[in-house]
Structure 1
């Protein structure tokens, strides 16, 4: 077997996943910012798929700018999550990064990407979890805790 064939055969055994980067943004009252896409019934963190050639924190910064029109600094990594599959999105695994997007003092600065997003809101922990997509529900409390303690969390998704 030639080197190219061996390399191809070897690479076919390596796990591959899509990358998602999102931001945990709160208001001064520690309420979590979620956005409501037109195409979903549930609410999401600000963020999305990382483009080829981007690092997760670069993708997060781009998504913040695109979705809410703000150039916020992307802070510390709060959480890494592995989801084996989200059939409504992709049939491959997702590796999800949640970064600290900081505290937004003035929500009137938000300019929603109207083509994709219908609404936004700041919600306390319980209401945020109630509105959030099932795969984001545990991330809300874990992200807030990671921000409070300064210790990132690895949380493989379980239903």
Structure 2
């Protein structure tokens, strides 16, 4: 690559990317985690690192945070998020983690440096524990999972 092309590519905007998983239990409650470094809960997941795919990031983060080795399912949600909670915009991905068995749930081993706790949450708890944008994304992910579709969101709102 010539230096002019390299300079042009280096000048292009960068976006934050995050990836997570939607896990449910046998009664369709959603797993939320409580980070040690935030004052709100979220879906298991985290930042997509350089040269890492969103899917690989979600699998890695679930392994790091929960101590679980799982094969995640299909993409449920892509959500473009404007500046707000964090500076600069970003793109967030949510994959289907499926229904966790009692065996998987018993094997959860939280990474103490990152997570205080986790909980199965019904719709009321999801709305209470998550910031609005994360609650909208989680509701959309649940709907996409149950309807067998994929949702594109902007700031947690469906774009048609």
1:105 is aligned, of 101, 106, 116, to 101
Separation (CA, whole Å) in 2 of partners of 1:53 and 1:6: 20
Which residue number in structure 1 is paired with residue 36 of structure 2?
38
Which residue number in structure 1 is paired with residue 3 of structure 2?
4
Deviation at 1:72? 1.1
* Conserved 8 A contact 2:22-2:31: yes
Secondary structure of the corresponding residue to residue 116 of structure 2: strand
Separation (CA, whole Å) in 2 of partners of 1:158 and 1:38: 24
Q: Deviations over 1:47-86 (max 9, x none)?
A: 0001112111000000000010001111100000011224
Listed as ranges, the gaps of 5+ residues in structure 1 are none
Separation (CA, whole Å) in 2 of partners of 1:10 and 1:73: 34
Listed as ranges, the gaps of 5+ residues in structure 2 are none
Separation (CA, whole Å) in 1 of partners of 2:53 and 2:108: 24
Q: Deviations over 1:103-146 (max 9, x none)?
A: 11222221111111101000002211210133201011110110
* Conserved 8 A contact 1:18-1:93: yes
Runs of 4+ in 1 over 2 A off after TM superposition: 3-12
Separation (CA, whole Å) in 2 of partners of 1:8 and 1:22: 33
* Conserved 8 A contact 2:16-2:91: yes
- How many residue pairs align between the two structures? 154
Secondary structure of the corresponding residue to residue 101 of structure 2: coil
Give the RMSD, CA atoms, in angstroms: 1.9
Separation (CA, whole Å) in 2 of partners of 1:112 and 1:6: 44
Secondary structure of the corresponding residue to residue 144 of structure 2: helix
Alignment of 1:148 onto 2:141: no
Could you state the TM-score of these two structures normalised by the residue count of structure 1? 0.88
